[in-house]
Structure 1
Amino acid sequence: MTLYVLRRLGAGLVLALLVTLITFLLLSPSFESVVRERLGPTATPETIAGMMTELGFDRPILVQYFDWLGGVFTGDFGRSLFTSQPVAPAVAARLGVTLSLVVTALLITVVISVALGVWAASRGGVADKISQILSLVGYIVPGLLLAIVLVVVLAVNLKLLPAGGFTPFSEDPARWAASIAMPVIVLVIGGVANMAAQVRGTMIDELRKDYVRTLRTRGVSTTSIVIRHALRNAAGPALTVLSLEFIQMLGGALIIENVFALPGYGQYAFNAALQGDIPIILGITAFGVILVVVVNLVTDVVNGWLNPKARIY
């Protein structure tokens, strides 16, 4: 098991290095234009060249990348070009807002998806049709459109929830729940559309296997077969879907946080991209890929624990 974990960790490290290197190479042609924007329209070529030298943008690209990478390993992700704020604490603070949103949405998605998928697979008939219709509706409805409708209906017309902003949980749990309610609804509807269908399909496959028929001939109750045996065996594939859903929700935060004015990871990334704040973009990319690697590693470890055969891959 230790070798399995080390192998997965090594693959994750290679992925992180490749993603950050590609991001750096893609950003490199814009270095001069970012300096021009920072200095303003009155900047002279000499001033621009001096700023390029001061920021180290005149050095070879790979030298700049490995210099940045060396700082990352010591916890220094650089400073914002426009505010001089250290990148690492700024991204970490905003990532906490995003994770509070995504983790809440993911937990609700798991509960609803497992209940809906198990119900559809074990009951069949009308229950299965209802499950498929709900999943289809979740696929069809665009998240951005749903977010706008929720703001108009729940915030503007009914005034049940705040239209935007964020309240930390430690400050006021009730207001925190109200501030993330609509974003969570948007993420949950899209998440359930993906995950419930996967749980349903996996459960149907499990319930058709020989061991289920054997248990039924021995008089084991349907509830026991579904919960104690089939659902447990279906947990491995469901965990993989869960990790993918987490990553998808993290990406969806880029749009959702801007719609609901949440000061999170997605909004910070959007604003940094508009400004061309290269250190922030690199920091956001690094934090994001590290988070993805950690989630995938945890998923692989749990899958390896549940299914020893998976450790050979």
Structure 2
Amino acid sequence: MRQVLRPARALLRSVLLLAAASAVIFLCTAALPGDAADVLGGGRATPEELARLRAEQGLDRPLHVRYLDWLSGALTGQPGRSLITGRPVAELIADRATVTLALAGAALAASVPLTAALAWAAVHGHRRLRPAVNALIVAGAALPQAVVAAALVAWLSTAWGLFPPVSMLPGGEPPWSRPDLLALPVLTLALPTSAYGAALLHGAIADVMAQPYIRDAELRGLSPATIGFRYVLPMIAAPATRLLAVILGGLVAGTAVAETLFGLTGLGELLVTAISTRDVPVVQSIALLAAAVVVAGLLAADVAVPRRRREAARP
């Protein structure tokens, strides 16, 4: 019975969490100063013209009515139209999603092994190297993406000429056809993400390594790799999966800096443009998409890595 109820509870919790996230997203965008009517009016529209524009865009309706309309549209895959261009928001997102998903996927693929290596080295590496590794993790997690991008361009592009400094993709070509153009944006996302992930996983790994059965495995002569895969990995599977979900959602929504700096036209660049023009349906939909990725990952972690499996990893 518990095996049946546990996924149901996790699903219900995920639905409530996503509903709460949608409400927060809607309220935050509603609190932005100005609206699309001000942008379309160009600062020269009369109060009567602004009122007409707001009525045409539905901005004069009560807040709860707009929220319910947007939420029902998002659930059916039709989250409205852009207030600036008039195009369906779903089309705008679909046009840009390929670039962002390719960028986020490549950054995630690079981040996972680097995160694991940094977290493991910080806990189980050579004693003399641990302080340096921990300092590297803290520094990497604290550096803004813009600083990382500038350093990568200076070293890998300007000094060594390995990659082009701008990543503008030729029209009609998929992003994976030009990996050289994606290299710097991917590293800009992957390096701080790896340091952030290692900082969060460090404590979980340290707790497991302090357990008596780990010491017993070391006394029995098991190699660090065997200890890591047989005993440590199953015990940190749930927090690592949750961290992976949060990182992926952050990458989907956090590509704005990398895309803007390197000239990529993805969801991040669309989000920046939509915020500047107060194109609220676009902002809401991209933010909700990132939240849905995080919630889906957390749900997968709860369902796929139950506690009893982690307990069974103990000898």
TM-score normalised by L of structure 1:
0.84
Report the count of equivalent residues.
308
Following the alignment from structure 1 to structure 2, what is the Cα–Cα distance between the partners of residues 174 and 283? 25
The answer for the alignment partner of 1:191 in structure 2 is 193
Cα distance in 2 for partners of 1:18, 1:293 equals: 11
Cα 1:164–1:5 shift into 2, 3 Å: farther
Q: Secondary structure at the match of 1:125?
A: coil
1:272 to 1:290, Cα distance in 2 relative to 1, 3 A: same
Offset, 1:181: 1.0
Aligned partner of 1:7 in structure 2 is: 9
Task: From the superposition, tell whether residues 51 and 288 of structure 1 become closer, same or farther in structure 2 (CA, over 3 Å).
Answer: same
For residue 102 of structure 2, what is the aligned residue in structure 1?
Answer: 100
State the AA in 2 paired with 1:299: A
Unmatched segments (≥5 aa) in structure 1: none
AA in 2 matched with 1:111: P
Partner letter of residue 120 of structure 2?
Answer: V
Counterpart in 2 of 1:207? Answer: 209
Q: Residue 166 of structure 1 contacts residue 176 of structure 1 at CA under 8 Å; is this kept in 2?
A: no
AA of the residue aligned to 1:247: G
Match of 1:302 in 2: 304
State the shift of 1:109 in Å.
Answer: 1.6
- Structure 2: any 5+ residue segments left out of the alignment? none
- Name the SS of the counterpart of 1:105 in structure 2: helix
C-alpha offsets along residues 138-163 of structure 1, whole Å, 9 cap, x if unaligned?
A: 13433211212322443345443222
CA distance in 2, matches of 1:69, 1:163: 40
Q: Please give the alpha-carbon distance, in whole angstroms, between the structure 2 residues aligned to 1:32 and 1:228.
A: 56
Residue identity opposite 1:39 in structure 2: G
Distance 1:133 1:40, change over 3 A: closer
TM-score, normalised by the number of residues in structure 2: 0.83
1:136 aligns with 2:138: yes
Moved more, 52-61 or 113-122: 113-122
Shift of 1:240: 2.8
Partner of 2:291: 289
* Residue of structure 2 equivalent to 1:116: 118
Distance across 2 between alignment mates of 1:25 and 1:237: 30
Alpha-carbon displacement from aligned partner over 1:106-131 (angstroms, at most 9, x marks no partner): 22221122233334433431242342
Q: Work out whether residues 164 and 260 of structure 1, in 8 Å CA contact, stay in contact via their aligned partners in 2.
A: yes
Q: Following superposition of structure 1 onto structure 2, how do residues 185-264 of structure 1 map, counting pairs within 5 Å?
A: 185-264=187-266
Paired residue type of 1:232: P
